[in-house]
Structure 1
């Protein structure tokens, strides 16, 4: 069945596969299928030019598709990571990192290296030297949900 479909579509089968992959990126976004879909569209463009050539067998097409998928994915990754824009909110969605440098009062003592503080409307687990409740501390680092503090 698949052989018949590819035989009927001819060089357009790569275009169909490419657009299916691009549509799949819309359904399950992860920003990876777009590069593979683009590689399939490129092989589709080459297929339009070379379809009747004797060297353009399916094995060559798959090899070229694999090569283009790797090349396009690497180039796309480089493009995306080199074109990051500077924002006025660098800690957006990084709430713990935005708390570094702030001071607070310990709500629970730090015993065995762990305690709790309240910053704004949230209680945070802190790590640091053993200190009694009520001590002023300064946040010096953030590791996910845990903050590292030292005496202010």
Structure 2
């Protein structure tokens, strides 16, 4: 196969990998597709044989995966999504209302439409408390700051 035909096959393969990336879950085929496209461009420009083209493809794939992982691995989680899969972590910082007296031994709070066991406080019935931590199914709370106004 001559270099021009081989170059076009690399380009077509790279585009097909990019299309597969759109259709398949994950984020890995993008790097391989980009490496195939770059290999195709070099094969078209310099008329390489198959063995050098495969070596270039391997190098470009390794480089693309390295920089891709470096760019996407350490992306910060937006603060709005910090506890997306941590339901108990999403409760921290919320305010609840004491249903019964709360001290270090226990008590009950209403959060939304449900009641939870709670410890901490101290707080009397009807007082607002802030959730500081979650231990199992027990909320660790403290008296909420008073609202001004």
| TM-score, structure 1 as length reference | 0.57
Aligned counterparts, 1:62-73, within 5 A: 62-73=54-65
User: Would you say the 8 A contact 1:140–1:147 is kept in 2?
Assistant: no
- Which of 20, 29, 54 aligns to 2:16? It is 20
Question: Is 1:92 aligned to 2:88, yes or no?
Answer: no
Q: Which moved more, 1:90-99 or 1:33-42?
A: 90-99
Aligned counterparts, 1:52-91, within 5 A: 53=48, 56-58=49-51, 60-80=52-72, 90-91=79-80
Aligned residues: 132
Aligned counterparts, 1:132-147, within 5 A: 138-141=130-133
Distance 1:81 1:146, change over 3 A: farther
Q: Which runs of 5+ in 1 are unaligned?
A: 108-115
Question: Is 1:149 aligned to 2:140, yes or no?
Answer: yes
1:24 Cα deviation from its structure 2 partner:
0.3
1:7 Cα deviation from its structure 2 partner:
8.9
Deviations 1:73-113 (A, max 9, x none): 221233345776x96xx223735344212243588xxxxxx
Larger radius of gyration: 2
- Is the partner of 1:139 in helix, strand or coil? strand
- Kindly report the root-mean-square deviation, in angstroms, between the aligned alpha carbons of the 2 structures: 4.6
Q: Which runs of 5+ in 2 are unaligned?
A: 100-107, 144-149
